[in-house]
């Protein structure tokens, strides 16, 4: 998949014996238009991506708006110690990990299966129609997806009306009973992202040599055998890479999505790391502690992604970064 | 491709086609139901059956939301954010992507800085404080500037620019063009389809954005459509969110049809651009999988 980078070498009129400073100056002068052109973008990264990193200082002090950042007392690792003692955070961490785990077990394989099924279709037209439909939910906002889900599942919603009129059941509290929270989250992810997820597998399958299938037919292999021995091996490396990367993002549980599904009935028990940071930091103004929790998540995420990338390379796959 | 015509193979095909049809229906039917209810009359809705085509098409719900000040205002705000935001996105992303596609001084450092932000971010609170410190809080720029460049798009666009033949740059240089002129007069015109594709993706992102709006915008007058939509549908406050005082409330259609109409209006623009998105995204995803 890699391409060789072939740079158009621009003329570099740098005098061979120039001193370092003069060389730098002539290089800067030569690139002056490019530097000006790149300035807004670089400024963006410095202001909105790197300046906040200095704000991580908040995690080590007991920030008090009246004393200001530099007047607030230094507390060192105290907030981080609290992360491992606070029962609420243990619950939040648990929720985050369980939701990720459920997604890896139940949502991750769905696009693979769908891609295998789409790959077996003989009619190109039918394949294209199905693809156009299953890609669509990816572009809907989470508000719309959660909204539609709420409309179907609330006590006077279609599902509960159906259950009442067919079986005479009492309304099932899908949205308010915390027991339904995690399964619903996973189902929504499956509904919204599975179709989109097939793209990368279908792309990998497009490269399979059709002669392989023909040879297998001659050898008497049925549809399942061909799938198992030809199609699956063709996407194996893609699956491994995506799985490893998914493991690297185990602490990201889809913030907007979960935030939208939270309500006063499940708020106490179903928070995840991201939503916890929002409620603590923005709503309760406990900036320091929320920053510490965010930093904890960021560092663990960085280590996990780096480890995931390293592992992917060990598997003989090209890393992503 | 050669296909055998055994019975088991045909059964396999039939089951496969049926299962995929079922999958497509599961994705499509909720949406068709929402459309149907949004156009249905009060009496028909009250029978509360599953319907895919209303017997009588009425526009009550749409009339109700389109006379509501807060709904119309949120639509206008969202259009503003989407247009301005996409423009800012493209300007910031294209310029830096182009610069990084050239052998410029400091290229490696800047690329590293960009890639690092894909691995680690300072998190919500420090970013919030920087947005506050730069004076953007409660201005629509708060949902535009802090997301001016998506690093992933930047890398993909840079990759695209490197495919422009070096001879073009050399020819422009010999004709006396500087990098600025080359960018404007040669690279950008050549990249119109790519810019359109990135613009569409950025625009969908702005249109669908919910979270940064509630994070940075406190004034209900500035709330974009997704925030209003949540009030109407998820929090179930359709009539109170939309009412223009008492008169409207008395003649309100049922909350359900209002909610569905609001969902449809908030999604319609996505459906309109979807065919164009579809044309581009397979390519985009592939480009992205190429090492940047």
Report the number of secondary-structure helices (H) and strands (E) in chain A. 18, 0
The H or E element containing residue B208 is helix B192-208
pLDDT at B292: 29
- Do residues A84 and A75 make contact, with C-beta atoms less than 8 angstroms apart? no
What is the rounded end-to-end Cα distance, in angstroms, of chain B?
35
Span A1-18, average pLDDT: 49
pLDDT at B19: 96
The domain defined by A80-314 folds into MetI-like fold (1.10.3720)
Span B47-60, average pLDDT: 77
Chain A touched by B176 (CB under 8 Å): no
Chain A touched by B226 (CB under 8 Å): yes
Chain A contacts in chain B segment 18-37 (CB below 8 A):
19-21, 23-24, 26-28, 30-31, 33-34
Interface size, chain A vs chain B, as Cβ–Cβ contacts under 8 Å: 289
pLDDT at A144: 95
Answer whether B27 sits within 8 Å of A195, measured CB to CB. Answer: yes
What is the tens place of the pLDDT at every residue in B204-233?
999 999 999 999 999 988 999 999 999 888
**C-alpha to C-alpha distances, A52 to A43, B27, B175, nearest whole angstrom:** 13, 40, 44
Kindly provide the ipTM of the predicted complex, given to two decimals. 0.89
Work out the number of other CB atoms within 10 angstroms of the CB of residue A166.
8
What is the tens place of the pLDDT at every residue in B237-278?
776 677 655 455 566 788 888 899 999 999 999 999 988 888
Chain B touched by A18 (CB under 8 Å): no
Q: Please give the DSSP secondary-structure letter assigned to residue A61.
A: B
> Looking at the predicted structure, is the pLDDT value of residue A292 above 80?
yes
- Closest residue, chain A, to B258 (C-alpha): A151
Rounded distance, CA A240 to CA A233, Å? 11
More confidently predicted of B174 and A248: B174
> What pTM was computed for the model?
0.88
Q: What residue ranges define each of the domains in chain B, with the CATH number in brackets?
A: 1-58 (no CATH), 61-292 (1.10.3720.10)
Interface test with A, best of B20, B31, B118, B123 (most A CBs within 10 A): B123
Q: Who's near B177: CB < 8 A, 6+ residues apart?
A: B185, B186
Chain A contacts in chain B segment 60-89 (CB below 8 A):
none
Q: Is B39 helix (H, G, I), strand (E, B) or coil?
A: coil
Instruction: List for chain A the helix, strand, coil content (%; round to 5).
Output: 75, 0, 25
What is the tens place of the pLDDT at every residue in A35-73?
999 999 999 999 999 999 998 988 898 887 777 777 788
Span A285-299, average pLDDT: 91
């Amino acid at each position: 998949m890699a391409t060789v980078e072939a740079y158009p070498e621009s003329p570099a009129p740098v005098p061979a014996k120039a001193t370092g400073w003069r060389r730098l100056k002539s290089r800067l002068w030569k690139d002056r238009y490019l530097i000006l052109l790149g300035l807004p973008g670089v400024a963006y990264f410095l202001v909105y991506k790197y300046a906040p990193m200095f704000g991580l200082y908040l995690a080590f002090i007991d920030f008090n708006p009246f004393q200001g950042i530099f007047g607030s007392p230094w507390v060192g690792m105290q907030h981080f110690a609290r992360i491992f003692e606070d029962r609420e955070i243990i619950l939040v961490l648990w929720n985050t990990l369980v939701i990720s785990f459920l997604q890896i077990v139940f949502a991750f394989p769905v696009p693979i299966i769908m891609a295998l099924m789409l790959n077996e279709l003989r009619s190109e037209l039918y394949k294209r129609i199905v693809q156009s439909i299953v890609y669509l939910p990816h572009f809907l906002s989470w508000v719309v997806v959660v909204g539609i889900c709420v409309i179907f599942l609330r006590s006077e919603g279609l599902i509960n009306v159906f259950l009442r009129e067919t079986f005479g059941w009492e309304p099932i509290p899908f949205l308010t009973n915390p027991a339904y929270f995690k399964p619903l989250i996973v189902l929504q992810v499956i509904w919204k992202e599975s179709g989109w997820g097939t793209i990368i597998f279908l792309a990998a399958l497009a490269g399979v040599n059709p002669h392989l299938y023909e040879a297998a037919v001659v050898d008497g292999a049925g549809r399942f055998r061909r799938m198992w021995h030809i199609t699956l091996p063709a996407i194996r490396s893609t699956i491994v890479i995506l799985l490893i990367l998914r493991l690297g993002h185990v602490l990201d549980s889809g913030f907007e999505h979960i935030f939208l599904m939270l309500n006063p009935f499940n708020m106490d028990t179903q928070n995840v790391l991201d939503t916890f940071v929002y409620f603590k930091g923005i709503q309760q103004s406990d900036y320091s502690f929320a920053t510490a929790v965010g930093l904890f998540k960021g560092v663990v995420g960085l280590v996990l992604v780096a480890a995931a990338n390293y592992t992917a390379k060990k598997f003989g796959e090209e890393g992503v970064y | 491709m050669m296909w055998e015509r055994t019975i088991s193979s045909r059964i396999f095909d039939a089951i496969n086609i049926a299962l995929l049809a079922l999958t497509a229906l599961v994705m499509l039917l909720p949406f068709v139901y929402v459309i149907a209810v949004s156009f249905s009359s009060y009496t028909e809705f009250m029978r509360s059956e599953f319907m895919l085509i209303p017997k009588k098409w009425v526009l009550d719900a749409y009339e109700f939301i389109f006379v509501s000040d807060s709904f119309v205002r949120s639509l206008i705000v969202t259009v503003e954010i989407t247009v301005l935001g996409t423009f800012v996105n493209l300007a910031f992303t294209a310029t830096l992507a182009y610069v990084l596609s050239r052998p410029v001084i400091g290229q490696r450092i800047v690329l590293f800085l960009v890639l690092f932000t894909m691995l680690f971010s300072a998190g919500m609170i420090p970013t919030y404080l920087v947005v506050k410190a730069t004076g953007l809080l409660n201005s629509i720029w708060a949902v535009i500037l802090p997301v001016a460049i998506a690093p992933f798009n930047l890398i993909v666009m840079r990759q695209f620019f490197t495919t422009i033949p070096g001879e073009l740059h050399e020819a422009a240089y010999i004709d006396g063009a500087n990098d600025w002129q080359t960018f404007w007069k040669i690279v950008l015109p050549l990249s119109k389809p790519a810019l359109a594709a990135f613009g569409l993706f950025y625009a969908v992102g702005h249109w669908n954005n919910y979270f940064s709006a509630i994070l940075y915008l406190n004034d209900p007058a500035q709330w974009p459509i997704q925030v209003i939509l949540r009030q109407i549908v998820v929090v179930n406050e359709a009539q109170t969110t939309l009412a223009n005082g008492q008169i409207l409330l008395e003649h309100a259609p049922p909350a359900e049809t209002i909610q569905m109409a609001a969902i449809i209006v908030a999604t319609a623009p996505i459906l309109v651009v979807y065919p164009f998105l579809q044309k581009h995204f397979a390519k985009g995803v592939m480009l992205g999988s190429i090492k940047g």
